[in-house]
Amino acid sequence: MRITCIGGGPAGLYFALLMKQQNPAHQITVLERNKPGDTFGWGVVFSDQTLTAMREADQKTADEILTAFNHWDDIEVHIEGRTLRSGGHGFCGIGRMKLLNILQARCVELGVDLRYECNVDDDEGLDADLIIACDGLNSRLRQKYTATYQPDIDLRQNRFVWLGTSRLFEAFTFDFQKTEFGWFQAHAYRFDEHTSTFIVEAPDAVWQAAGLEAMSKEDSIAFCEKLFAKVLDGHKLVSNAAHLRGSAQWIRFPRVVCKNWVHHNGRAPVVLMGDAAHTAHFSIGSGTKLAFEDAIALAKDMAAHPGDLQAALDHYQATRSIEVLRIQNAARNSTEWFENVERHARLAPDQFAYSLLTRSQRISHENLRLRDAAYVAAFEQWLAAQSGIAAPKPVPPMFTPFKLRGLRLKNRVVVSPMAQYSCVDGLPGDYHLTHLGARALGGAGLVFAEMTAPSPDGRITPGCPGLYTDAQGQAWRRIVDFVHAHSSAKIAMQLGHSGAKGSTRLGWEGIDQPLESGNWPLISASSQQYLEGVSDVSRAMTRADMDRVLAEFCAATERAAAAGFDWLELHCAHGYLLSSFISPLTNHREDEYGGSLENRLRYPLEVFRAMRRLWPAERPMSVRISAHDWVAGGTTPEDAVLIAAAFKAAGADLIDVSSGQVSKLEKPVYGRMWQTPFSESVRNRVGIATMAVGAISEADHVNSIIAAGRADLCAIARPHLANPAWTLSEAARIGYAGPQGLDWPRQYHAGKQQMEREFERQRASSAQAGGLSALEQANKALGV
């Protein structure tokens, strides 16, 4: 084949040499706009995974790169005069120029035609069977064929400048400095025997307030030297971007996502690779990694589909786009963490550093323990002390106690409220006693009853529970008494009115589908139809309706208190009645209860305040909110902060942070712990306790969330349906036997011992099967 790579960066050079190695008969040309010795940037970092793939693809090149690596194991975090260090991270860095030189020499050795100072604007006139557009972030070919590639470019908030220094950092170093303008941070790491990369970053507003926009390059470097003088220890900062002038050296990171990666122009396919196809924020060190892995993937696909270029390109795009999206999701989490340093800096330095280490959600609590057990043990003891316990041994964060008002929970695990559709006329019976009682015995600190209606027309389905009769109150009292008598768990009531989403079938008979008969009238903030053309149409509430519903919530609150519930939550999320007032998607009122967010909150706050006055002062009260409607024009995460602040001012003790289910037009972005960032934002910006929900399914998830200060409690839903003793099982799985935060029923002790033995055997087997990491194996082979 005749292959032309436009761009002589890592992606283009590596793909060229892999294809030439694969078949020396290929005619491969690399067209690079710069001179051979030109490069912009300083050092780059690699992961073990990337190095393993490179050794499989071309061991000679990988070995040359490896011998030029600088290795370090530790991360240091400097903040508020403290240095916090953790090890086992296994970084390796190399100068970008050195890396390019190795790739260039290998290309020449294999017979690749390298041409420099070739400024290629487009693919016209290129005589090739395949064109690789690896011409970087500002790819001209991507711009030319925008209609095909459909790029989505998100310009991030922070400004950063990429500098170098002769100060040799022995650990990957993060240094945070608070100024009168706001927070600045530095990312620094050594990449050869003389030089370290030194990236300075700050939010755009902080950068502008500091006057950096108007400074010359020299003055802005002097500003950074003064700001980071302590960590630089007398060393200077330098820039190798001599072609840049003034503030242009400070840039905002653009995250690039392309819907398609291949353009067919009737001549040769034009394929995106590297930064031209995608970008991931530098804070997770993935740009060069992705470029190499793109090249490896396409070369493999070409070899796997000889003579069928289209099949190779289809497989390349299908598989790489998924992997890149995974990396970009992690990079997004990391990006947003650095964009909000001011928020995280409200944490104590110990927790701030932990939050930094786990910011992308790729590194979890147990992963950190594998890297540096001593660091995690010391942190766990510190965190336990913040909860008021002085444990002689480390306590996993999920098993630390939590106190709110006069209530103390033994641990941070909550059984989430989950609809069971198993009541008759709103009356909970033996099923609910068994269901909630089993989960209270299962080790969770707090067990929630499902959303319970304050009136018959407030139910979602005929099978949903109520608290609008004395008989229902007595039935709930029976369940509460059982939980208190037979477990150390606490039990919570969640009150909510279904609004426009009511009068539907049981979940397994057709969720959100209207009843075939016996429907009841629906009310909401404004007239609406939840499922267009399917659901019954609700009518807008009158003032009389609002007074009636408020009184019903108050009566239910009094019954909940009399039943002995330890905790009360008001449901203001997911498109139900009170949520319909808050979301602009469902509130179109023109009176004092519509329009601005302040007005839309007016009625839910009226209800909450009335309930809080009736609810015993020593017992906590929380509010569940939808932090994001996932629909344009709906509630946003920024609105969620204001909503939470309003409920805090009204007396709420905790915000249960969920999202969505307000509109069927929603397009949520799912993933592991996908709603936790909303909880973290509310918690650390509003200064109120939060509960995280959504795809939290392992002890590792809970430990990471609590330890990083992203929430105070974690609500676990579906795992608790499958395993009522989820908390006890997860404790055994991670090897924690208590006693802090863990209370096995005496009747279950035989099962406890068997479970602990089985998980201990599995952990021992796993440890025995484990070996050296890919990087350690490569180092050992080379004697490094």
Look at residue 42 in the predicted model and tell me its pLDDT.
77
What percentage of the chain reaches a pLDDT higher than 70? 96
Mean pLDDT of 602-610: 98
State the pLDDT at residue 243: 37
109 pLDDT exceeds 80?
yes
**Which pLDDT score, from 0 to 100, does residue 259 have?**
94
| 229: region left, alpha or beta (phi > 0 left; psi from -120 to 50 alpha) | alpha
Tally of residues, the chain: 784
Distances, alpha carbon 293 to alpha carbons 10, 64, 280, 322, in Å? 10, 18, 13, 13
Strands 654-658 and 402-404: unpaired
Name residue, tokens 């030029």. 68
Task: For residues 435 and 419, give the distance between their C-alpha atoms in angstroms, rounded to a whole number.
Answer: 11
Range 100-127 burial, b when 16+ CB lie within 10 A, else e = bbbbbebbeebebebeeeeebebbeebe
Average pLDDT over residues 393-422: 97
Res 774: pLDDT = 42
Rounded Cα–Cα distance for residues 686 and 650 (Å): 13
pLDDT at 781 over 70: no
CA distances in angstroms from 472 to 24, 104, 189, 427, 464, listed in the order given: 81, 78, 64, 5, 12
Q: Report, in this order, helix, strand and coil percent for the chain, each rounded to 5.
A: 45, 20, 40
Taking alpha carbons only, the member of 417, 420, 416, 449 closest to residue 508 is 420
Task: Say which residue the tokens 């808050």 belong to.
Answer: 582
Residue-wise pLDDT tens digits, 718-770:
999 999 999 999 999 999 988 899 999 989 988 888 998 999 888 887 766 55
Residue 645 and residue 639 in contact, taking contact as beta carbons nearer than 8 Å:
no
Res. 779: pLDDT tops 80: no
- Virtual torsion, Cα 159, 165, 169, 172, nearest 10 deg: 20
Is the model's pLDDT at 776 over the cut of 50? Answer: no
Which structure tokens are listed for 202?
Answer: 């700050």
Average pLDDT of the residues in 100-114: 95
Question: Can you give the pLDDT at residue 248?
Answer: 42
- Could you tell me the pLDDT band of residue 48, with boundaries at 50, 70 and 90? low
Cα radius of gyration rounded to whole Å, the chain: 29
Question: Reduced to 3 states, what is the DSSP secondary structure of residue 353?
Answer: helix
pLDDT at 187: 95
How far apart, in whole angstroms, are the C-alpha atoms of residue 17 and residue 55? Answer: 14
Pair 635, 604: CB distance under 8 Å: no
What mean pLDDT is predicted for residues 522-529?
A: 96
Which of 60, 76, 277, 276 lies closest to 172, judged by CA?
Answer: 76
| 175 and 228 Cβ atoms separated by less than 8 Å | yes
Q: What is the pLDDT, as a whole number, of residue 724?
A: 97
> How many other C-beta atoms are found inside a 10 Å radius of the C-beta of residue 458?
28
Which is higher by pLDDT, 101 or 45?
A: 101
| 3-state SS string for 549-595 | HHHHHHHHHHHHHHHCCCEEEEEECCCCHHHHHHCCCCCCCCCCCCC
Cα-based angle 275, 280, 282 (whole degrees, multiple of 5) = 105
Q: Tell me which of 14, 530, 576, 736 is the catalytic residue.
A: 576
- What average pLDDT does range 90-111 have in this prediction? 90
- Asked whether residue 782 carries a pLDDT value surpassing 70, the answer given is no
Q: Are 140 and 122 in contact (CB under 8 A)?
A: yes
pLDDT at 47 over 80: no
Beta-strand (E) ranges in 180-266?
A: 182-190, 196-203, 237-238, 251-258, 262-263
Model's pTM, two decimal places? 0.90
Q: What is the pLDDT of residue 93?
A: 79
Q: Residue 108, SS3?
A: helix
CB 453 within 8 A of CB 409: no
Asked whether residue 581 carries a pLDDT value surpassing 60, the answer given is yes
| Distant-in-sequence, close-in-space partners of 643: CB < 8 Å, separation ≥ 6 | 582, 597, 601, 625, 635
Most confident listed range (37-41, 158-162, 609-613): 609-613
- Tell me the range of 286-295, 506-515, 650-659 where mean pLDDT is highest: 650-659
pLDDT at 522 over 50: yes
DSSP string, 21-82: HH-TT-EEEEE-SS-TT---S-EEEE-HHHHHHHHHH-HHHHHHHHHT-EEE--EEEEETTE
pLDDT averaged over the chain? Answer: 92
Is 555 exposed, middle or buried (CB count within 10 Å of its CB: 0-12, 13-18, 19+)? middle
Name the H helices within 131-269.
140-144, 146-149, 204-209, 217-227, 229-232
Q: Is the pLDDT of residue 784 over 90?
A: no
Phi and psi based region of residue 111 (left: phi greater than 0; alpha: psi -120 to 50; beta: remaining): left
Mean pLDDT of 666-683: 92
For the segment 536-546, the average pLDDT, to the nearest whole number, is 97
Mean pLDDT for 597-612 is 98
CB count in 10 Å sphere of residue 668: 15
pLDDT at 671 over 60: yes
Residue 360 has pLDDT above 90, yes or no: no
DSSP letter (8 states) at residue 683: I
Q: What is the dihedral of CA 577, 580, 582, 583, to 10 degrees?
A: 150
Residue with tokens 């589908």: 513
Q: Using N-to-C axis directions, what is the helix angle for 48-57 and 59-67, rounded to 10°?
A: 140
Q: Which residue has the higher pLDDT, 40 or 472?
A: 472
Q: Are β-strands 654-658 and 689-692 bridged in parallel, bridged antiparallel, or unpaired?
A: parallel
Q: Tell me whether residue 678 is exposed, middle or buried, using C-beta atoms within 10 angstroms of its C-beta: 0 to 12, 13 to 18, 19 or more.
A: buried
Does 244 score more than 90 pLDDT? no
Lookup: tokens for 735 = 């090897």
Q: Tell me the C-alpha distance between 582 and 597, whole Å.
A: 7
Distance of CA 678 to the CA centre of its chain: 9
pLDDT at 39: 63
Whether 387 and 400 have beta carbons less than 8 Å apart is answered as yes
Query: How open is the CA angle 594-599-602, to the nearest 5 degrees?
Result: 115
Task: Give pLDDT, residue 769.
Answer: 58
Higher-scoring residue by pLDDT: 329, 697 = 697
**Please, which pLDDT band fits residue 393 given cuts at 50, 70 and 90?**
confident
H-type alpha helices, 272-394: 287-304, 309-339, 341-344, 349-357, 365-371, 373-386
Whether pLDDT at 43 is above 70: yes
Give dist(CA 477, CA 294) in Å, integer: 61
* DSSP structural state of residue 686: I
* CA separation for the pair 566, 483 (Å, rounded): 11
Q: How far apart are CA 91 and CA 288, in angstroms?
A: 14
**Catalytic residue list contains 576:** yes
pLDDT at 388 over 60: yes
Cα–Cα distance for residue pair 350/354, rounded to 1 Å: 6
What are the φ/ψ torsions at residue 513 (nearest 5 degrees)?
-90, 135
